[in-house]
Chains A and B, each alone.
Chain A
Amino acid sequence: MAGRQMRIDEYRIEEEPYYLPTGDELTIAEAAYADGSPLLLKGPTGCGKTRFMQYLAWRLQRPLITVSCHDDLSTSDLVGRYLIRAGEAVWTDGPLTMAVRAGAICYLDEIVEARKDTTVVIHPLADDRRQLPIEKRGELLTAPAEFMLAVSYNPGYQSVLKDLKASTRQRFIALSFDYPDPDKEIEIVCQEGHLGIELAKPLVKLATMTRGLKDSGLAEGASTRLLIQTGKLIGRGIPVKAACRAAISEALTDDRELLAALDEMVSSLF
């Protein structure tokens, strides 16, 4: 038990992560936590969902266990499994079970990537029962008040295959995230990318332009995360245009014509 306690402590966030609230998301999330309701975060990639969870965990002083979902994720990967050690079968908790036992926050990132039959395991946890059945051990865990379940997904991937089941999504308090307003985004890029406002401003303008290219074949525009990365490159002495090319244009598309158009935007702005 002591070993497990040690491990869960590794998930605690000691330092305050930088997060600039864009609306009432924090108030809602804290109210949901107080009520024991699970959270669903949706929004485009790199707009601050994961950072928000880190910030929330820090504010609530709970460990944050993040699981990045993928299509080969099985129920055992979440709940736990028996392992053989020295000729004995030893049960090992999965991240979800660990979070329930420790009263941590379990954050399933990009939940739509996981297969639908896997996500069903969170159903009893995500309603008022707040229970996690561990069939292999014949155990029924009831989550303590401190436990919170949060999931995220990106509604931008317009694929019929990548959508949440109604029965899953209707258990959550949903928070919609989007890229921040230009002013706030500039502030974030200045702070996180260690940039001056004179460079952060056109960077944000560039990002706004790329976000308008949905009809021209760009599925998603430059995220705030990309801007921060660009800022960091510039801070390391990479020339602005090269940094934009490497961190934004090339990261967004392989299409030669779109790349050329993005280059034109960069050369117009800087």
Chain B
Amino acid sequence: MDLEDLKDTFYRLVAPSLPNEWDVEEALAPLIDSETQHLEEIFAQIPAIWPVSHSLCFAYLSAAGPALSSLALDELSLWVHTLLDRYETGGLRSAQVFMADVESQFARPLRGQGGLRLIDVRPRLQPYVNGLAGRELPLIGAAEAATDTESIYLPGEIGLFTENDDNFLLYKLMVSFQWACLAGGVFDAPPAVRLHRKSAHPLDCYFSEFDRPDHARRLFHLLETGRILGFLRQELPGLMRQAALLLPRLPLSGDHASSPNVLDLLQRGLVREQWPKADHHLPPLVERAVALCHQCSDHATDNTLSLEAVRELMAMLQPEEDLAATSPLVFQGTLRLQEIRNLGMRQQADKALCLMQTMTARLPTVEAKQADGAEHHQAAATTHNQDAAVIIDADSAWEQLPPFMQSLSQRIDNRPPAEEPEQSLTSRPSPQVEPSVSAAEGKGGQAFAQFSKVRPGEGEGAVEPVVYDEWDYRRKGFRKNWCVVREKELPPAQNTFIEQTLKQYRGQIRRLRHQFELLQTGERFVRRQREGNDIDFDALVESLADNRAGRPPSDRVFIRLARDHRDIAVTFLVDMSNSTAGWVGQSIKESLVLICEAMEVLNDRYAIYGFSGMRRLRCEVFPVKRMDERYTGVVRQRISAIGPREYTRMAPAIRHMTSLFDQVEAKIRLLIVLSDGKPEDYDDYKGEYAIEDTRHALLEAKAKGIHPFCITIDRQAHEYMAHMYGEVNYIFIDKVNQLPARMPEIYRVLTS
């Protein structure tokens, strides 16, 4: 195939994009001589890569030819799948590294020839080390084993042994060893050390007192390793019994040295029990080091003995002796003293800040009587029971405070009459209020702005944005962390919509309420039971009469109170895309009012959310009524505020609802989606891709035990609907004005 043909095919595959011809030629040039079969397979992957990244696609085209020399043809799609994962987690650079070395990055692990990888053992070892430490100690991939007291670093892969069981044991030993370093106090500061730099770890300061600090550090680490191995033998005897078979097989850097130094000899002793024989040929340094090492392993409970030993050994160390050639034992890893110090300082700073916050947030309680506005504000303060702040309006009160209280208080200038009405402070639903937020914040936010979260302004999300994956059907995998969903407040709208709706559907609402009341099966008496709370006198009389008449009497003479609890939680997810403008949106809103009115007679918990947005980084979800919120005037006003906004990227909203449902405990969890047509966004999110993603999001919801049901308002039914929603999980409404009547009906049928 010549370059022109290749270009034609390429442009057809990436249409409607029109990439620079020069770039395309350069990327395709290496493929000219490839076999047709290979070319077909290589080109088949382009539709999956192109939408993710154009530069990645070009890089792929250059790398695919060489890659096929190490891969079988049918392995290419799996390779691309892994490549895309790499790209999304580590960016283009990581993807390029992955493509550059097909053999070790992909082919060998695929054929089971690689070592054991951290990601494979982490699920097992993470809880293990958490259990050991009694706290979360994340296991993080790094070049060498180490710890910074907050995490444990481990090599990304271990292939030292042919058997993966042995590699696993080594991982386990590494993890246990690093934990033991923390538990055994390896990093404790020496008692009397002069800090030459405040930011340096005290141990580093100790080592810097010697002329060769690095050597002192190495000696210390190895002596401590001996001590920690002893500690492990005591604490985890089972592990060390297994490790005793493994340790002698570890390769040591001193194995090939012509004249092993003192560290090499100690390492041999520690892991292979090959201690240098005590005779007169032994240099005094080695002899003393061995003795000290034994002392540390057997008797020391902290690092002081090792530190003293270092001082003694450093004095004996000849200037020509070089210890730098000895690499540390593989499970021992490196000492990350500086990182430990930095972390410690950061924690100290956080603690100080936290203390300051507590001091300032706990304003003293003072009876405020005189000032007019005082009660008002006090009410505001007491609504959030975690806030220990009291706001006093009167200027004189400040002077009345004793000096020490003044130092604990914040004087707040509350003159500017903020635009928001006073009641918004009290009427704010409590879940949105940060526990640490002071009651003073609404008025005197300035004073506290340095450390407490400022109340989000109108329209801003009260909740942190959440990131969700998106399903890409072309590669049969997820685009990792693809969509950003923000919860945004819907500013309540005050208009006559609610009143009009209530008036217009007066009769229907009454009927609905009655119908819904019938659904309410809270408690009822079941008669004629064998056991029960009370005697069923009708049954008893019958039974006695039967007995007299010589017929077998029934023993079902009790009444039982049966409680059929309707344990249902439902979320209505409402499409707020631009296409709902006009009658569709109006009907959706009306039906929401109707369903809310009807739902009030039921005890079912329900939530209403709207969704819209533009592009994957701005998917927006608007809480109209949260699950635990009551159906109040504000909720009604929010319903009337529902209006057409931007596009219909439905899946992220569904995924968000699914994750919200995780916090809800209910026997039946129902997600009702109200939409007016196909999912679609401003970018490439349309057609098959959008349908498949939505379908997948609904399947994910189902897998979590949520029943999704979709109500679609459209002029005509489409084939894709059954595929997207599932055969029986949707209903299609073509006459918009039917919706208000149909929706409560649908709900009734769904839940009874």
> Chain A interface (Cβ within 8 Å of chain B)?
74-76, 81-82, 84, 87, 89, 115, 136, 159-161, 202, 205, 208-213, 215-218, 257-258, 260-262, 264-270
8 A-B interface contacts by CB (under 8 A): A74-B561, A136-B534, A216-B131, A257-B127, A258-B127, A262-B127, A268-B128, A268-B239
- Contact status A257-B238, CB under 8 Å: no
Most chain B Cβ neighbours within 10 Å, of A115, A136, A268: A268
The yes or no answer to B236 lying at the interface (CB within 8 A) is: yes
**Minimal Cβ-Cβ distance residue in B for A212:** B134
Partner of B172 from the list A74, A82, A115, A264 (CB cut-off 8 Å) is A264
Q: A264-B125, A270-B237 are in contact. List 6 more A-B contacts (CB 8 A).
A: A82-B534, A84-B540, A213-B131, A261-B127, A262-B127, A264-B128
Partner of A257 from the list B124, B130, B132 (CB cut-off 8 Å) is B124
Output the least CB separation between B154 and chain A (Å): 15
A101–B557 Cα gap in the complex (Å)? 28
- Contact status B131-A89, CB under 8 Å: no
Residue-wise, chain B 99-142 has the 8 Å CB interface mask toward A (1 for contact) of: 00000000000000000000000011111101111111000000
- Contact status A81-B533, CB under 8 Å: yes
List, in ascending order, chain B residues with CB within 8 A of A265's CB.
Answer: 128, 131-132
Output the least CB separation between B662 and chain A (Å): 14
Residue-wise, chain B 615-635 has the 8 Å CB interface mask toward A (1 for contact) of: 000000000000000000000
Q: Tally chain B residues at the interface, Cβ within 8 Å.
A: 33
Partner of B665 from the list A76, A159, A216, A218 (CB cut-off 8 Å) is A159
The yes or no answer to B547 lying at the interface (CB within 8 A) is: yes
Closest 9 CB pairs of A and B: A212-B134, A209-B131, A261-B127, A268-B239, A216-B127, A268-B236, A257-B123, A76-B533, A261-B128
- Contact status A217-B176, CB under 8 Å: no
- Contact status A215-B136, CB under 8 Å: yes
Output the least CB separation between B171 and chain A (Å): 10
- Contact status B133-A216, CB under 8 Å: no
- Contact status B135-A212, CB under 8 Å: yes
**Minimal Cβ-Cβ distance residue in A for B242:** A267
- Contact status B131-A269, CB under 8 Å: no
A227–B132 Cα gap in the complex (Å)? 18
A217–B126 Cα gap in the complex (Å)? 11
The yes or no answer to B39 lying at the interface (CB within 8 A) is: no
Given A87-B547, A266-B238, A268-B176, decide whether A212 and B128 contact each other with a Cβ distance below 8 A: no
> Chain B interface (Cβ within 8 Å of chain A)?
123-128, 130-136, 172, 176, 235-239, 242, 532-535, 540, 543-544, 547, 557, 561, 563, 665
Main secondary structure of the interface of A (DSSP, over half): helix
**Minimal Cβ-Cβ distance residue in B for A269:** B238
A160–B663 Cα gap in the complex (Å)? 11
**Minimal Cβ-Cβ distance residue in A for B130:** A216
A261–B127 Cα gap in the complex (Å)? 6
A105–B532 Cα gap in the complex (Å)? 26
Given A216-B126, A257-B124, A261-B126, decide whether A268 and B238 contact each other with a Cβ distance below 8 A: yes
Partner of A209 from the list B134, B136, B242, B563 (CB cut-off 8 Å) is B134
List, in ascending order, chain A residues with CB within 8 A of B127's CB.
Answer: 213, 216-218, 257-258, 261-262
**Minimal Cβ-Cβ distance residue in A for B175:** A264
A50–B198 Cα gap in the complex (Å)? 54
**Minimal Cβ-Cβ distance residue in A for B537:** A89
A40–B130 Cα gap in the complex (Å)? 32
A87–B532 Cα gap in the complex (Å)? 17
Output the least CB separation between B165 and chain A (Å): 12
List, in ascending order, chain B residues with CB within 8 A of A81's CB.
Answer: 532-534
- Contact status A264-B124, CB under 8 Å: yes
**Minimal Cβ-Cβ distance residue in A for B560:** A74
List, in ascending order, chain A residues with CB within 8 A of B665's CB.
Answer: 159-161
Output the least CB separation between A173 and chain B (Å): 25
A216–B138 Cα gap in the complex (Å)? 11
Given A75-B533, A212-B131, A213-B131, decide whether A268 and B124 contact each other with a Cβ distance below 8 A: no
- Contact status B535-A89, CB under 8 Å: yes
